[in-house]
């Protein structure tokens, strides 16, 4: 399973990329606003830090506008993935981009029917928003399961990128269902490695080692 960071904060990306565990980045207009950076400048820097896919979202709502913005974004770096919304216009733009060998992340997916259309449009990634479904008392993981089943039945190449991750359990559940990737807020990414029993065990080892009076390197 690939781990993407869902952020436009370059400093955070640099820090977590040092783990060697970050496979890609997703951004959106809200994350760009939070970063306080110019979009194009932040993308250029992110693409020098991360070799994997970096999703950059268009903001136009019409097909021509999406295509114009997407082509511009794709020129920033070879690993840019143009992000479009799951609308008829977004799917039309997706078809055009894929014909031009531009990778596409179709975002804001909330149903298996939408995911099927995105795959038929040639999307590189489909981004089902599991957390937002959970927020309205629907089962986000059921959506992941349905998409996995459909894509497997028809050998679609579109990768399932679980989005709107709210907690570490979302990540492990998506992995168990066969999700290709998850895009994770930095805070959740750091929580994946934490466990109170790990901390307790380390504390006990450290105290016992100190009692020996030894050092590993003399």
Q: Pick the catalytic residue: 83, 176, 194, 200? A: 83
pLDDT digits (tens, 9 = 90+) for 56-76: 999 999 999 999 999 999 999
Domain segments of the chain as ranges: 2-212
pLDDT at 135: 97
Confidence grade of residue 100 (pLDDT, cut at 50, 70, 90): very high
The verdict on whether 211 is a catalytic residue reads no
Q: What is the mean predicted confidence (pLDDT) over 12-40?
A: 94
Alpha helices in the chain (DSSP H): 10-17, 29-35, 39-49, 63-74, 88-99, 112-120, 130-135, 140-154, 168-176, 186-191, 196-212
Closest by CA to 80, choosing from 89, 88, 71, 90, is 71
In the chain, % of residues over pLDDT 90? 96
Name the average pLDDT for the chain: 97
Please, is 57 exposed, middle or buried when counting C-beta atoms within 10 Å of its C-beta (0-12, 13-18, 19+)? buried
pLDDT at 218: 86
Q: What is the mean predicted confidence (pLDDT) over 108-125?
A: 98
Confidence grade of residue 132 (pLDDT, cut at 50, 70, 90): very high
Which class is 2-212 in CATH?
alpha beta
pTM of the model: 0.94
pLDDT digits (tens, 9 = 90+) for 149-173: 999 999 999 999 999 999 999 999 9
């Amino acid at each position: 399973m690939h781990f993407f960071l869902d952020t436009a904060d370059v400093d955070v990306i640099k820090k977590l990329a040092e783990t060697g565990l970050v496979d890609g980045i997703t951004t959106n207009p809200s994350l760009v606003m939070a970063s306080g950076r110019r979009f194009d400048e932040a993308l250029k820097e992110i693409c020098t830090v991360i070799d994997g896919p970096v999703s950059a979202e268009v903001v136009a709502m019409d097909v021509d506008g999406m295509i114009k913005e997407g082509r511009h974004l794709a020129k920033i770096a070879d690993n840019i993935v143009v992000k479009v919304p799951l609308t008829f216009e977004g799917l039309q733009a997706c078809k055009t981009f894929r014909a031009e060998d531009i990778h596409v992340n179709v975002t804001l997916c909330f149903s298996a029917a939408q995911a099927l259309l995105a795959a038929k449009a040639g999307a590189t990634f489909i981004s089902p928003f599991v957390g937002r479904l959970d927020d309205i008392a629907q089962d986000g993981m059921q959506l992941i399961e349905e998409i996995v089943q459909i894509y497997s039945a028809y050998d679609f190449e579109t990768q399932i990128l679980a989005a709107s991750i709210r907690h570490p359990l979302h990540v492990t559940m998506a992995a168990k269902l066969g999700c290709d990737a998850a895009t994770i807020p930095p805070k959740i990414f750091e929580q994946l490695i934490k466990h109170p029993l790990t901390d307790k065990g380390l504390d006990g080892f450290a105290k016992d080692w100190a009692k020996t009076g030894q050092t590993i390197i003399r």
